[in-house]
Amino acid sequence: MSEMNTEDIAYCGLCCEKCFLRKGEIAGLAKELRRALREEKFAKMSDGMSKFFKELRDYDACYLTLGAMVKLRCNKNCREGGGNPFCNIRKCCVKKGYDGCWECDEFEHCTKFSSLKEVHGDANVMNLKNIKKKGKEGFLEGKIYSYL
């Protein structure tokens, strides 16, 4: 992972370089585990072992879940078109000519952030307040919130 710069600050105030999708570590580990399971022919072993370990009855679902996790990777930051291609937050900022939501007087009550709440809580709003107060460069030198 490279050192963060202001281009890594998403329009919503989250930082792309802090995101597990951007880091790719979880996707990489899931891929390695799937490969190891195939090499060991674990699917066949799980059938026999499920008599002793009832959780192994769900092996197929687990393997499919790992397959989905392999796809949890983002190779571009928000400003390069990474993340959600249908992001209403990005669309709004671009339409209004904002560098980010911190330039909007209504960001603390914006309903477009509802899509972030479940995973990020108010992390992006806390970041936006700091960006508005310190500027982007100053923000990157302080605490950056990702998940609350």
Q: Could you read off the pLDDT of 71-118 as tens digits, one per residue?
A: 999 989 999 999 888 999 999 999 999 999 999 999 999 999 999 999
Q: How big is the chain by its Cα radius of gyration, in Å?
A: 20
Confidence grade of residue 3 (pLDDT, cut at 50, 70, 90) = confident
The pLDDT value given to residue 147: 84
Query: Which pTM value belongs to this model?
Result: 0.81
pLDDT in tens, 119-134: 999 999 999 999 999 9
* Whether the Cβ atoms of residue 144 and residue 10 lie closer than 8 Å to each other: no
In sequence order, what E strands does the chain have? none
- Quote the distance between the C-alpha of residue 28 and its chain's center: 14
